[in-house]
Structure 1
Amino acid sequence: MKSIKCFLTSLLLLFSIVLSAQDFAPVVQNVNKAQRVSDYIQVRSQLERFLLAQPQLSLATYYLAYVDIQLSLVTPDVDKKTKYLAEAETYLNKFSELKDIDKSEFFTLKGLRLYALMALDPQINGPKYSGEIVSAYATALAINPNNPRAIILSALFKNDMAKYLQQTYDNFPKDIEKASALFAAQDSMLLTPTWGKSWVVFALSKK
């Protein structure tokens, strides 16, 4: 009898996790469609509610960090930018402490947050964070060479640095092509990070 109860408890737990995953998919789609500050604020509220209801889903923590980074990039208020980036760091730290996370995605998001910090004050933060940004993307790609988010963000940063030094990043077109192909092949229905296609569009405008 005891074994049956344990089995039923495990089954109910598994069912709740699957159900929560199904419920979370539309939230991820909303994140990927967000463009304006109001869009990100709305989806951020959805993520916070979801994290309270389903704290075992690490992707909610991951996406809260991502949304905070995006908010820092699109909001014009400097104080709010700083606030969002501080909150993004908190969520990233929480995500890094969870079990069985995708470390390639963690380092990619870490690099993007550092890039957003650099964008706050390029003259001061550029020399301060550029090495860490390169290292974060390199680590992400060492873990997973086919991470399209790491590929395109690394390519954009290397291309910008090359232009700043009046040089050329020769692999930029190849990196864009590879990232684009990987994004096209990814399954948007899977509960894994799927953001980043907009960065390919941005990269194409800089070719």
Structure 2
Amino acid sequence: MNKLITILLCLTAIGSGTLKAQYTLSINDVEFDTSTGTITNYINHRQKNIVIPGSFKGHKVRAIGKYAFSRSDLESVVIPASVTDIGEMAFSINSLTAIELPKGLKSIEALAFASNYIRAVNIPRSVRSIKTSAFANNRLTTVNIPRKVKSIGAYAFAYNLLTSISLPLSVSSIGRHAFLDNQLSAIPLPNTRKTWRNCDNEVVREIAVFTKEYYVEGVAKPR
């Protein structure tokens, strides 16, 4: 096998005991900008369970570009620790059920993981903002938002299955409908020490609440 199609020896359990091998991408599977370390396009759509290596031909993979893996029918992906930026719609519209984000990740752009089947996500401590619709339209029941996140974009976690959310004190702004159409009945606002409830026990509504240090849009104010 001179042209390497590397099948990892480690196997990932998927579903009810079915094991699927994960395929490590080679330079022939992607379009890669060596000057920025960015994967700009995935051109091998046959592989559905992939591992992105930390480098291609000695050049570190530092970013996943805009739309790079969108609409690729991916079921699982391993993102290397070297990646610091995940671009707009980079992994959107796939069949991912789980994702582990690199610890050094700094940027999660708009719609980066939208329209998958992801059930839980841990946002790394290095992330400062979660952009518009980044995790919208998944199956999230659990989200861990670390202390240093300052802003959560509009629709960032909309259309999921969240029943509760804990926001760190670092959060100073939340965009419109950030948690729209989940199963939340209350959202505690860290900087105000208040809880704004959706009294109709429906999805979060379009209404803005402003305070001295903090604003949140899309949270229903109690009557």
Is the shorter-chain TM-score for this pair beyond 0.5, marking a shared fold?
no
Using CA pairs below 8 Å that are at least 6 residues apart, which structure has the higher relative contact order?
A: 1
Q: Greater strand share, 1 or 2?
A: 2
Taking structure 2 as the reference length, the TM-score comes to 0.29
* Structure with more of its chain in helix, by fraction: 1
